[in-house]
Amino acid sequence: MALLQISEPDLSTAPHQHRLAVGIDLGTTNSLVATVRNGISVVLNDENGRAMLPSVVRYAADSSVTVGEAAQIEQSVDPTNTIISVKRFMGRGLKDVGDTSRLPYRFVDTDGMLQLRTVAGVKSPVEVSAEILKVLRMRAEAALGGELVGAVITVPAYFDDAQRQATKDAAKIAGLNVLRLLNEPTAAAIAYGLDNASEGVYAVYDLGGGTFDISILRLTRGVFEVLSANGDSALGGDDFDQRIHCWLLEKNDLSALNPQDTRLLLTQARAAKEQLTEHDRTRITAVLSSGELVDNVLTQDEFQSMSHNLIQRTLQPLRRALRDAKLSAADIKGVVMVGGATRMPQVQQAVGEFFGQIPLNNLDPDKVVALGAAIQANLLAGNRSGDEWLLLDVIPLSLGIETMGGLVEKIIPRNSTIPTARAQEFTTYKDGQTAMSIHVLQGERELVSDCRSLAKFELRGIPAMVAGAARIRVTFQVDADGLLNVSAREMGCGMEAAIVVKPSYGLSDAEITRMLQDSVQHAQDDMQARARQEQQTEANQLLEAVQHALVQDGELLDHQQRSRIEAQMTVLQGSLKTEDTLALKRAVNALNEATVSFAQARMDKSVAGVLTGKNISQLETK
């Protein structure tokens, strides 16, 4: 039981108040939480000793939420309400997801970030992620015996602004103070670098369940400097599962499966993929809902050829990252492998060939990100250990604004060290113009339509002047989380322009507030539900006890007493059927009261006045 660890001596008696901080790897497939204890970063397990929490959230009709293994086991039973790989939806619109027919969810078609319709209502990916984070927060608080000062949450290095903001919002809804959003490969580099006292230029190749990152870092004494980052935020182990899934459909001449069967085959595909890491061949069997049997043997060779181009897709970002760092493969001292999908032998081989060296696998690829995040969290929380280091990270994608003709003008180039800022002056083009709008985009392409829209800013309250006279200075600031903040002021009179923001894929402040309230409300509902359940149990026990007493000692009551008790029993039975907890409580009290003299009489009868002033329920339960 986690609670037993509350008064662990090393934590409660630390000389300087140790500030409780954790690192959380919020993964597509699995999530973990880690912390630094006695100077060592450790992953915190659940009460069954498991480190990894499957990133699976199931919503039930009564609004209860199941997270993790329990939800995962049931995923093919209730695929529509069991959300897996929600990270792929963070800060994304419906059209980004591509072929939604392969997914068992009911998507809500909205303008910005997509939403999912579940039995428990419409959910944003942010809320779904918050459920995962809540479980990890509670795990950590139970293990560490106190409230957390804060958490470092990891994100793929190649996550754009909308995806990062969505992650930070999820943490907020989960009640976590975000000390920093940390890039996953950077977290891995910290864990690896500190562990091995490495110096030189390293590459971190991180292929997880849903995302691919490559980061090039220079490690020198006390400094982790990211030189470049690249990747694909929609490429991971899931895509290999999809390839096997498609192969199964083809082999068995199947089409248009129902959500249950789709989920079943994907689960089998994933198991087969993992089997092929150790074995030359694997057998895939499944019984579909139609009764049809799927039974195929997949060989390592076949799997390699069907997944060849997925692996090639990781090499292009790799070359780009090297070019941006102005380095060649030969300059790389070591390649740190991170993420469960790097266990696939064909990945190891391709990476090894590319760099001309055997990749480094001496850290657990599942845990290294969480461990590194915990180390950074400990530092950021202000737990000075003597050992300090400086982390210089970069923004992975260029930021720009829309100019004439649907073109994008870059204002902050990719791989700029953060924090970074750029101020730009704008002017009015019409006499008396008092408002203007700025469209902010992220990406490397030249056309607005090829970049990702982040937000449209509307500047209002510009003093009316002749065209070109007003000078509005807009500052684009990227903070240490890699998040963009915008502010504006009119230079002539120093007036601050009012800005109205329309995030393209993000949530508005109002939406976040609502989700926060929902989350608090939900916790209250949970508490109320529990109170009601306790009340119901108590009522049932009381009814049973009175019934029993009436059968046994009914002759002690006169007709009037008996009918008073029976009337109260009817009232209680009635209120058990309603939702009104308060009425239930009153009915329980009333029945208890109505039986006081009955209890007294029974007592007198059996123990001759030893016990007085007790009613039936107290007697019976004794």
Partner 1 sequence: MRLRREFSSLKQSTGFDFQHNHFQLFGLAPSFQLDSAKLELQYRALQAQVHPDKSAHLGETEQRVAMQQSTLVNEAYQTLKSPIRRARYLLLLNGVDTQEETNTAMPVDFLMAQMEWREAVAETQQARDLNALEQLAARMKVETRALEAQLAVKIDTEQDYAAAAGLVRKLRFMEKLAEEIDAAYDVIDM
Ligand X SMILES: Nc1ncnc2c1ncn2[C@@H]1O[C@H](COP(=O)(O)OP(=O)(O)OP(=O)(O)O)[C@@H](O)[C@H]1O
User: What's the token pair of residue 557?
Assistant: 């009551």
Closest residue to ligand X in the complex (CB): 237
Q: Are 90 and 131 in contact (CB under 8 A)?
A: no
Q: Which is nearer to ligand X, 68 or 236 (CB)?
A: 236
Residue 199 annotated among the catalytic residues of the structure? no
Site string for partner 1, 157-176 (x = CB under 8 A): ----xx--x-----------
Residue type, 423: A
127, 169, 184, 402: which one is catalytic? 184
46, 87, 134, 232: which one is catalytic? 87
- List 288, 501, 516, 543, residue binding partner 1 (CB under 8 A): 501
The H or E element containing residue 207 is: strand 200-207
Q: Which is nearer to Mg ion, 27 or 104 (CB)?
A: 27
Using CB under 8 A as the binding rule, whether residue 149 contacts partner 1 is answered as yes
Of 460-479, binders to partner 1 (CB under 8 A) are 475, 477, 479
Q: How many CA atoms lie within 13 A of 508 on its CB side?
A: 9
Nearest to 341 by CA among 232, 248, 250: 232
Q: How many residues does the chain have?
A: 622
Q: Which is nearer to ligand X, 169 or 366 (CB)?
A: 366
Closest approach of Cβ 159 to Mg ion, in Å?
12
- List 23, 27, 79, 231, residue binding Mg ion (CB under 5 A): 27
Residues binding Mg ion: what is the number (CB under 5 A)?
2
For partner 1, which stretch binds (CB under 8 A), given 42-50, 80-88, 412-420, 532-540? 412-420
Q: Which is nearer to partner 1, 161 or 241 (CB)?
A: 161
Helix boundaries (H) for 366-439 = 368-380
User: What's the token pair of residue 599?
Assistant: 């209890």
Instruction: Tell whether the torsion through CA atoms of 123, 129, 134 and 136 is positive or negative.
Output: positive
Closest approach of Cβ 113 to partner 1, in Å?
13
Q: Which is nearer to partner 1, 485 or 524 (CB)?
A: 485
**Distance separating alpha carbons of residues 227 and 171, to the nearest angstrom:** 28
- List 254, 271, 327, 480, residue binding partner 1 (CB under 8 A): 480
Nearest to 225 by CA among 387, 391, 336: 391
Strands 223-232 and 390-392: parallel
* Chain contacts with ligand X (rule: CB under 6 A): 27-30, 87, 208-211, 236-238, 270, 273-274, 277, 339-341, 343-344, 366
- List 34, 52, 298, 380, residue binding partner 1 (CB under 8 A): 380
Closest approach of Cβ 30 to ligand X, in Å?
4
Site string for partner 1, 82-121 (x = CB under 8 A): ----------------------------------------
78, 127, 131, 206: which one is catalytic? 206
Alpha-carbon separation of residue 248 from 298, 322, 404 (angstroms):
9, 37, 49
Contact of residue 235 among partner 1, ligand X, Mg ion, none (CB under 5-8 Å per partner type)? none
DSSP string covering 419-438? SEEEEEEEE-SSTT---EEE
Contact of residue 210 among Mg ion, ligand X, partner 1, none (CB under 5-8 Å per partner type)? ligand X
φ/ψ of 365, rounded to 5, equals: -65, -20
Paired strand residues for 453:
441
Site string for Mg ion, 186-225 (x = CB under 5 A): ----------------------x-----------------
* 131 Cα distance to chain centroid: 7
Q: Which is nearer to ligand X, 92 or 602 (CB)?
A: 92
Q: Which is nearer to ligand X, 56 or 286 (CB)?
A: 56
Contact of residue 270 among Mg ion, ligand X, partner 1, none (CB under 5-8 Å per partner type)? ligand X
Closest approach of Cβ 42 to partner 1, in Å?
21
Site string for Mg ion, 453-492 (x = CB under 5 A): ----------------------------------------
**Distance separating alpha carbons of residues 126 and 116, to the nearest angstrom:** 11
- List 254, 392, 590, 601, residue binding partner 1 (CB under 8 A): 392
User: What's the token pair of residue 267?
Assistant: 């689960």
Site string for partner 1, 302-331 (x = CB under 8 A): --------------x--xx--x--------
Helix boundaries (H) for 444-508 = none
**Distance separating alpha carbons of residues 376 and 390, to the nearest angstrom:** 10
**Distance separating alpha carbons of residues 226 and 215, to the nearest angstrom:** 7
φ/ψ of 356, rounded to 5, equals: 65, 30
**Distance separating alpha carbons of residues 224 and 190, to the nearest angstrom:** 7
Paired strand residues for 36:
41
**Distance separating alpha carbons of residues 183 and 185, to the nearest angstrom:** 6
Alpha-carbon separation of residue 251 from 157, 172, 261, 264 (angstroms):
37, 46, 15, 16
Q: Are 66 and 46 in contact (CB under 8 A)?
A: no
Cis peptide leading into residue 396 (ω within 30°): no
Residue 511 annotated among the catalytic residues of the structure? no
Residue 490 annotated among the catalytic residues of the structure? no
For partner 1, which stretch binds (CB under 8 A), given 53-61, 199-207, 485-493, 603-611? 485-493
Helix boundaries (H) for 99-160 = 125-144
Residue 25 annotated among the catalytic residues of the structure? yes
For partner 1, which stretch binds (CB under 8 A), given 58-66, 450-458, 464-472, 549-557? 450-458
Using CB under 8 A as the binding rule, whether residue 419 contacts partner 1 is answered as yes
Using CB under 8 A as the binding rule, whether residue 381 contacts partner 1 is answered as yes
* 379 Cα distance to chain centroid: 23
Nearest to 47 by CA among 138, 158, 169: 138
* 617 Cα distance to chain centroid: 46
Per DSSP, the three-state class of 561 is helix
Q: Which is nearer to ligand X, 55 or 592 (CB)?
A: 55
Which residues are catalytically annotated?
25, 87, 184, 206
Residues that bind partner 1 (CB under 8 A): 19, 149-150, 161-162, 165, 179-180, 222-223, 316, 319-320, 323, 376, 379-382, 388, 390-392, 416-421, 440, 454-455, 457, 475, 477, 479-480, 483-489, 496, 499, 501, 503, 506, 509
Residues that bind Mg ion (CB under 5 A): 27, 208
